[in-house]
Amino acid sequence: MKFDQFGDFQLDVLREVGNIGAGNAATALSRLISKEIDMKVPQVKIIAFDEIADSVGGNESLVVCVFLQVKGDIPGNMFFIISLSSAKKLLRELMGIETDDDEWFDEMELSALNEIGNILTGSYLSSLADFTRLNMQPSPPAVAIDMAGAILSYGLLEIGHAGDFALTIDTAFFEGNEELEGHFFLLPDPASLPQLFRALGVPLE
Amino acid sequence: MNIVKVGMADLNITKSPNRIRTTGLGSCVGVVLFDSQSKISGMAHVMLPDSSLSKGLLNVAKYADTAIPKLIEDMERAGANARRIVAKMAGGAQMFAFTSTSDTMRIGPRNVEACRIALQEARIPIVAEDTGGNCGRTIELDSCTGMLNIRTVNQGVKEI
């Protein structure tokens, strides 16, 4: 399906999809750390590949990322992205792991971050699956700490054959004074969007 | 001196004293070509190996098999001599260690291989490369010297 078929209504629906998914994930995070998590209004964008990392500080910004593929009725890719300082804060609050700010992450910390990402993206996807009654199966997640552009480009490979643009549903969340800030990125496969709209009862012109 | 930027699935050429750079290479491969006499250089940020899989409008800069011939053609038009051109490559990483690796996840090594084949077909020798591994790279080529500067998050900076 072509992105130029989308009107404001379709984009609003996708924004709501981001709201429901990230809302549930934020609730899960809030329970994990017993703190209030706020969300920003989801950004739904049809962007050139080069701009995909812009909302997390650009291609070269250093981020912690948990990545998984979504299979089933609406295939796509999902990313949970946080800054290094947010990752350290999460490890501190959840696991009692104290790390120096300039210290890198060891195996155990990476594994813990992978599991946190797994729980949060899992609750994002399962709330969407419940809501749409569509089948959405997450692959096992994997974690990486590196340049945002190098990481996010993994979500573009499949759709790369069809064009130079991606549709991203990006929901930022933060805790208190934004000491903990992160993003949930959903990149649905363009071919799966009609199915998603059908499940939500949204007409396509 | 200017720095010419090359985006993802994009290519460009420049000449001395300019530099040419691309940021955040993961599984993508940065191919640079350099003619030491005319000091004309080119760079492609290759995303996928094979253009035959393209659906819809073909962006030649995106695929190894189409980007490399196009880059050579553009450089020749600017005054480079194809017989003098040499290549360097960086990128083609596997950013994530998955237990079950699907084809998509192995795209880094496949991109490197496809670039190697396309360069061989064009009779361009590869004089240096920094490929594979599991880290992101930012690369910058100096059109005066042909030196390729490679920056990673974990392993610092090197020149090849």
Structure tokens at B11: 């290519």
The answer to whether residue B133 scores a pLDDT higher than 60 is yes
Which one has a higher pLDDT value, B21 or A105? B21
Q: What's the pLDDT score for residue B32?
A: 97
Residues B136, A158: C-beta atoms closer than 8 Å: no
Query: Using one digit for the tens of pLDDT, what is the confidence trace for B37-92?
Result: 999 999 999 999 999 888 878 899 999 999 999 999 999 999 999 999 999 999 99
Q: What's the pLDDT score for residue A101?
A: 64
Contact (Cβ atoms closer than 8 angstroms) between residue A115 and residue A16:
no
The overall average pLDDT reported for chain B is: 92
Q: Active-site residue B28, yes or no?
A: yes
Q: Is A142 on the interface with B (CB under 8 A)?
A: yes
Contact (Cβ atoms closer than 8 angstroms) between residue B23 and residue B7:
no
Q: Indicate the SS3 state at residue A135.
A: coil
CA distance B127 to B114: 17
Of B24, B53, B134, the CB nearest to A148: B24
Residues B47, A157: C-beta atoms closer than 8 Å: yes
CA distance A27 to B151: 38
pTM of the shown model? 0.90
CA atoms within 13 A on the CB side of A90: 30
CA distance B34 to B13: 10
Q: How far is CA B97 from CA A61, A144, B135, in A?
A: 21, 8, 11
List, as one string, the DSSP characters of B6-32: --TT-EEEEETT-EEEEEEESSSEEEE
Q: Is B50 on the interface with A (CB under 8 A)?
A: no
Residues B55, A161: C-beta atoms closer than 8 Å: yes
Query: Using one digit for the tens of pLDDT, what is the confidence trace for B78-106?
Result: 999 999 999 999 999 998 876 555 666 68
CA distance B51 to B42: 20
Task: Give the ipTM of the model, two decimals please.
Answer: 0.88
Per-domain boundaries in chain A: 3-200
Q: Which residues of chain A have pLDDT under 50?
A: none
- Beta strands B86-91 and B40-46: pairing type? unpaired
Residues A144, B104: C-beta atoms closer than 8 Å: no
Identify the CATH class of A3-200. alpha beta
Locate the chain A residue with the closest alpha carbon to B26: A150
CATH architecture observed for domain B3-159: 2-Layer Sandwich (3.30)
Contacts 24+ apart (CB under 8 A), B107-112: B107/A157, B107/B27, B107/B48, B107/B49, B108/B26, B108/B27, B108/B29, B108/B132, B110/B49, B111/B27, B111/B28, B111/B29, B111/B46, B111/B47, B111/B48, B111/B49, B111/B64, B112/B29
Q: Is A147 on the interface with B (CB under 8 A)?
A: yes
Query: Which residues does chain A have within 8 Å of residue B107's beta carbon, measured at their own beta carbons?
Result: 157
Residues B8, A143: C-beta atoms closer than 8 Å: no
Q: What's the pLDDT score for residue B92?
A: 95
Q: Rounded to a whole number, what is the distance in Å from the CA of A36 to chain B's nearest CA?
A: 31
Nearest residue to B76 (alpha-carbon basis) of B85, B67, B87, B89: B85
